[in-house]
């Protein structure tokens, strides 16, 4: 099975930055480097939403409109890790952030199809 472990959450003032990390265990017959990866978030009282996604070869990235220009998703295949660099944070970014994977290499921007999740890491932005 897939295991996803997030880290890097915390509390920050508006305008600040955080960097989230997610370490991914390798699936027996489908290595990490072959999978679509994404970050999601869920704010209190709201549905979980896709924030950013990245294709296996880093050729394609996808962002929610609300984070374009402020968040950057990246991956280091050698370390089985993906990252979410978050800059100019706003109070609306307060949420639990989840790492997720989709065991395929195409249409990585299909946020509604991700089916493996980490436990999440809390991000709190104070104004």
Mean pLDDT by 10 residues, the chain (127 residues): 92 98 76 82 96 91 97 92 97 97 91 94 97
Gap between the Cα atoms of 108 and 78, Å rounded: 20
User: Phi-psi category of 20—alpha, beta or left, where left has phi over 0 and alpha has psi -120 to 50?
Assistant: beta
Question: What integer pLDDT is reported at residue 32 of this predicted model?
Answer: 60
């Amino acid at each position: 099975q897939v295991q996803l472990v997030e880290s890097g959450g915390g509390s920050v003032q508006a305008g600040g930055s955080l960097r989230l990390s997610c370490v991914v265990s390798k699936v027996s017959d489908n290595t990490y480097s072959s999978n679509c990866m994404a970050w999601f978030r869920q704010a209190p009282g709201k549905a979980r939403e896709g924030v950013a996604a990245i294709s296996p070869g880093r050729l394609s990235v996808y962002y929610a409109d609300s984070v374009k220009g402020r968040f950057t998703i990246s991956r280091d295949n050698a370390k089985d890790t993906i990252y979410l660099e978050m800059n100019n944070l706003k109070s609306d970014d307060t949420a639990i952030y989840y790492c997720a994977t989709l065991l395929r290499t195409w249409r990585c921007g299909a946020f509604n199809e991700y089916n493996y999740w980490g436990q999440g890491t809390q991000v709190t932005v104070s104004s």
